[in-house]
Structure 1
Amino acid sequence: MTDRQTSDITSSARQTEDIRARNLSIRWWTLINGLKSLFLVGLDASMLFASWTIADRLGTPTAGVHITNSMIPILAVGIGTLAASGFYGTDDKLHRFANLFKSLALAQLIEFIAAFFYQPGIWVSRSVFAIALILNFLSISGARFLFDLFIIQIRKRNPIFQQAIVLVGNQMDIEHVRKLLKRSRQFRIDSIIDLSIWDIQRQLDEIIDQIKSRKISEVFICSPQLIDNQIILFWNLKAAGIHLRMVPTEIQLPERSAETKMIEEIPTVRFKSLPIFGFNFWLKRVLDLIAASAILLVISPILLLVAFLIKKTSSGPIFYKQYRVGLKGRRFQVWKFRTMVENATELQKELEQQNEVKGGVLFKIKDDPRITSIGKFLRDYSIDELPQLINVLQGEMSLVGPRPLPIRDYELSIQNIEQFSRDRFLRYEVLPGITGLWQVKGRATIDSDEIFYWDMVYILQWSLTLDLKILLQTIKVVLFKEGSY
């Protein structure tokens, strides 16, 4: 890419464009999204067909009735309900498990009522309906999840599928967003519009013409606070066929926890409960218990082998137990395989000057001399963290969540309340985790601000889908030692 292509858009001259060509990028992405939706329709139809066929075989048979004879209306109702619920749009939040289950349950309710009036009492048994609902949910959610992962990997590895975008904002916010987007590798930054050079109020038409001249279909606003009349910007961009995203550089309440409600003619925004409270908390806890028990059972031979090697290669205990800060600021002992020499805590005081974490809130140094030979291997592949499954069973930790801070790091972080943003205390309102969003975004990150940023993103945007994605990405990060520290 040339310097001219990557430089800021600073020319104020209007460019004459061929109206047939200027929306080429928009048409291209519209075509891709259309093909994606068609593929999802086919994928969902295949899963529905397979699930109902299996349910018909597993459930209580009804004499003279075969589900295949009614498959076309079943598929029509199922796909129609999913389409009406928005599952073939571009909004990622519509792929959540809860919404999917509700849509599939609604489809089967419609089918049940239709069957009752068409052939009362002789269509299919209740067991077939129940099995079909479970299989429909598991197969469609699983297939969609794998498809999304596949699409993300394709976009990361092939720049041609990375959507070209323009960043609008001040330099500091643009750099922050640029760093986040660089990690995702799903968008290609074509150019930037620096609001210290451009006056968005007086030069709005000029800015939109410049964006269109670059054949851009989407704009990321990195400094929303600098735009006085956002609705005018939104209207003009959408009128030009350009999509708009607001990217807050500071963590805010998530969009999905709010809904617009009208009181007479007054628009208001009503906030729902945050996602990790109430029923969701206990659902996450139950799944943690089931998963942790199963994992411990499967990997127990590996744990015994590691314990033997630690005891054989260095003096000291097999396990290292350290007090950490968890839910509601309570202190608990975290379990880890010992990877350091016995007097590692005392030696840390001598190594404080070598701490490489910006701000010094966390303590990390490369090539830590306290690490044993077997300890380095255990750390590279995060095997030393596996005993924390015991903490999960004890209710002190979760499989996924913000990493619990050692007492030293916690106390240092709150010494100066001006430097320790108060919203960071929210990380102590959830169970800490064995792995988390920061671990899969960049294990070698040594900037405490970025670590806390990803913790807050996880807390405010939590879902079972996000937990599953983090667990799968953790396996990949660990196996390939991506960013190991």
Structure 2
Amino acid sequence: MTDFKKNDLNHPWQTEDIRATNVPRRWRIPSIGLKSLSLLLLDTTMLFTSWVIADRIGTPTVGVHLADSTIPILAASIGTLTASGFYGTDDKLRRFAKLFKSLIVAQIIVLITVFFYQPGAWVSRSVFSIALVLNFIFIGGGRFLFDLVTVEIRKHNPIFQQSIVLIGDRVDIDRVRKLLQRSQQFKIDSIIDLAVWDIHSQLDRVLMQIRSRQVSEVFICSQHSIDNQIILFWKLKAAGIHLRIVPTELQLPQRSAEIKMIEEIPTVRFKSLPIFGINFQLKRLFDTIASLLILIAISPLLLVVAILIKKSSPGPIFYRQHRVGLKGNHFQVWKFRTMVANASQLQQQLEAQNEVKGGVLFKIKHDPRITKIGKFLRDYSLDELPQLFNVLQGQMSLVGPRPLPIRDYELSLQPSQQFAQNRLLRYEVLPGITGLWQVKGRANVDSDDIFYWDMVYIMQWSLTLDVKILLQTIKVVLLKEGSC
């Protein structure tokens, strides 16, 4: 990463304009075009497959062959998805609610298109309905897997990350850099510190520096420090570079937003928070059914674990501890015992060895209180399985922020702790057996990162996200990446 200095360029410069006829167009970020093309091919394949299957299992229409209408069907569907922004530069292209609405619109357009393309041909109602359901399942599932693969590719191949430049005050730049490091989408190529550069008098020089790096986007981290933003925006766009403004000074919800114009003033409107009303009831219904089925399936395993614990060391099979749940209410969490019987008393002697930064949570990698069978159970998170009973009782959810012990809860809300007030929001939802932190950074013992992922989950919740986290939990547990 480069930190631009004033003397980086000492020769005349000109700002490239992509509208000039003598400027060759080039792929600044080949991965962006590659990703859009891959999604286009994936969606086309899924659409074709779903319609073929629907035609096979649905009620056939005499004299009508789906092959005759394949081109208009695919063209209408892909055209609708394109118009809805599903092949843009947004990294979150798995917006399933919007996808479902777009596919409904596509089906309507398909009917109209086929009517004009082949006036005498009509697809049966059963084929039409089955195709709609399969379109959503196949495209949604395909994009879900595509997203997982994309993240893994970016982790191991930075060439597929978008190179960006950060502009702002040093404090704001550091704040944004820390946030972006949690994402695999961007690679910070260089920064422009406004304490060194004067954007007002050195705008063309700054633009030349940015263009020389061949980046795709510029992030403004300190909006208040730039008084000629429209000029900066215009010249960046003329050079083929996108501009983003990161509102570091505002505590905005991490929800999908849309730009709305009030007269000539652009405003940002955020969607409502997700885990309320019918969404909460749907989550509870999913938790109840899923946890009951899981308990039935793993009952032999639970019995074996209980016998091993009883034989390995003196003490009870289960460990019950008071935790803090929804609305700050206390409840007893159930776990298989993995420590010696007097582990709570020994914790006071081990506080100095706490490895969690800030000391809000208590965690030691090689905790001497853990028994041999307990270490095995923790490695594969088997000790957490009895919490399925907490889920059935309505005290917990399968997915959510981990419930904190009372000691950790009280420390997390001390005024000396950064973002202490924001952390209260994690107690507005049911705690979970697993969560985003468990699948994003289980080996990371920085309490700020833990609370950050809790907030991301709360603000971005959906049943699809819950399923994704549960599937990823299986992966990280089998690979023993930390412990839940």
TM range (shorter): 0.7 to 0.9
Aligned to 1:450: 449
Q: Which runs of 5+ in 2 are unaligned?
A: none
Aligned to 1:218: 217
Going from structure 1 to structure 2, the CA distance change for 1:451 and 1:112 (only over 3 Å counts) comes to same
User: What is the alpha-carbon distance in structure 2 between the residues aligned to residue 284 and residue 120 of structure 1?
Assistant: 45
How far did 1:372 drift? 0.9
How far did 1:308 drift? 2.1
Aligned to 1:293: 292
Aligned to 1:27: 26
User: Is 1:195 matched up with 2:190?
Assistant: no
How far did 1:427 drift? 0.9
How far did 1:296 drift? 3.0
- Determine what percentage of the aligned residue pairs are the same residue: 72
Which secondary structure state, in structure 1, belongs to the residue aligned with residue 187 of structure 2? strand
Within-5 A mapping of 1:429-468: 429-468=428-467
Aligned to 1:374: 373
Q: CA RMSD in A?
A: 3.2
How far did 1:266 drift? 5.1
Within-5 A mapping of 1:169-180: 169-180=168-179
User: What is the alpha-carbon distance in structure 1 between the residues aligned to residue 406 and residue 226 of structure 2?
Assistant: 42
Within-5 A mapping of 1:158-173: 158-173=157-172
Aligned to 1:85: 84
Within-5 A mapping of 1:316-395: 316-395=315-394
Going from structure 1 to structure 2, the CA distance change for 1:268 and 1:249 (only over 3 Å counts) comes to closer
User: What is the alpha-carbon distance in structure 2 between the residues aligned to residue 22 and residue 305 of structure 1?
Assistant: 68
Going from structure 1 to structure 2, the CA distance change for 1:215 and 1:17 (only over 3 Å counts) comes to farther
User: Is 1:474 matched up with 2:473?
Assistant: yes
Going from structure 1 to structure 2, the CA distance change for 1:40 and 1:186 (only over 3 Å counts) comes to closer
User: What is the alpha-carbon distance in structure 2 between the residues aligned to residue 132 and residue 256 of structure 1?
Assistant: 31
2:3 to 3, 8, 11: 8
User: What is the alpha-carbon distance in structure 2 between the residues aligned to residue 202 and residue 483 of structure 1?
Assistant: 51
How far did 1:136 drift? 0.7
Within-5 A mapping of 1:143-292: 143-248=142-247, 252-254=251-253, 256-265=255-264, 267-292=266-291
Which deviates more from structure 2 when the two are superposed, residues 250-259 or residues 402-411?
250-259
How far did 1:432 drift? 1.5
Letter in 2 for 1:325: V
How far did 1:261 drift? 3.5
Going from structure 1 to structure 2, the CA distance change for 1:251 and 1:153 (only over 3 Å counts) comes to farther
How far did 1:290 drift? 3.6
Using structure 2 for the length normalisation, give the TM-score.
0.88
User: What is the alpha-carbon distance in structure 2 between the residues aligned to residue 141 and residue 244 of structure 1?
Assistant: 30
Deviations 1:264-321 (A, max 9, x none): 5555444431233333333333333343334333333333322222122112222212
How far did 1:96 drift? 0.7
Going from structure 1 to structure 2, the CA distance change for 1:107 and 1:130 (only over 3 Å counts) comes to same
Which secondary structure state, in structure 2, belongs to the residue aligned with residue 244 of structure 1? strand
How far did 1:379 drift? 1.5
Which deviates more from structure 2 when the two are superposed, residues 153-162 or residues 174-183?
174-183
How far did 1:471 drift? 3.1
Which secondary structure state, in structure 2, belongs to the residue aligned with residue 364 of structure 1? coil
Which deviates more from structure 2 when the two are superposed, residues 262-271 or residues 83-92?
262-271
How far did 1:225 drift? 4.9
Which deviates more from structure 2 when the two are superposed, residues 416-425 or residues 366-375?
416-425
Going from structure 1 to structure 2, the CA distance change for 1:129 and 1:228 (only over 3 Å counts) comes to same
Going from structure 1 to structure 2, the CA distance change for 1:269 and 1:419 (only over 3 Å counts) comes to closer
User: What is the alpha-carbon distance in structure 2 between the residues aligned to residue 368 and residue 297 of structure 1?
Assistant: 32
How far did 1:342 drift? 1.3
How far did 1:463 drift? 3.5
Letter in 2 for 1:11: K
Using structure 1 for the length normalisation, give the TM-score.
0.88
Contact 1:156 1:184 in 2 (8 A): no
Aligned to 1:3: none
Contact 1:253 1:460 in 2 (8 A): no
Letter in 1 for 2:398: L
Going from structure 1 to structure 2, the CA distance change for 1:110 and 1:465 (only over 3 Å counts) comes to same
Going from structure 1 to structure 2, the CA distance change for 1:419 and 1:10 (only over 3 Å counts) comes to closer
How far did 1:324 drift? 1.4
Deviations 1:100-156 (A, max 9, x none): 111111111233456678889973332222211111100011111112222222222
How far did 1:262 drift? 3.9
Going from structure 1 to structure 2, the CA distance change for 1:105 and 1:341 (only over 3 Å counts) comes to same
Contact 2:356 2:447 in 1 (8 A): yes
User: What is the alpha-carbon distance in structure 2 between the residues aligned to residue 26 and residue 429 of structure 1?
Assistant: 51
Deviations 1:384-424 (A, max 9, x none): 12222222233222222211111111123334377563122
Aligned to 1:69: 68
Number of matched pairs: 480
User: What is the alpha-carbon distance in structure 2 between the residues aligned to residue 29 and residue 396 of structure 1?
Assistant: 51
Which secondary structure state, in structure 1, belongs to the residue aligned with residue 385 of structure 2? helix
Going from structure 1 to structure 2, the CA distance change for 1:145 and 1:18 (only over 3 Å counts) comes to farther
Contact 2:72 2:113 in 1 (8 A): no
Which secondary structure state, in structure 2, belongs to the residue aligned with residue 315 of structure 1? coil
Contact 1:257 1:273 in 2 (8 A): no
Which deviates more from structure 2 when the two are superposed, residues 161-170 or residues 248-257?
248-257
Which deviates more from structure 2 when the two are superposed, residues 282-291 or residues 340-349?
282-291
How far did 1:381 drift? 2.2
Which secondary structure state, in structure 1, belongs to the residue aligned with residue 108 of structure 2? helix
Contact 2:169 2:221 in 1 (8 A): yes
Aligned to 1:129: 128
How far did 1:185 drift? 4.4
Contact 2:73 2:114 in 1 (8 A): no
Which deviates more from structure 2 when the two are superposed, residues 206-215 or residues 281-290?
281-290
How far did 1:167 drift? 2.7
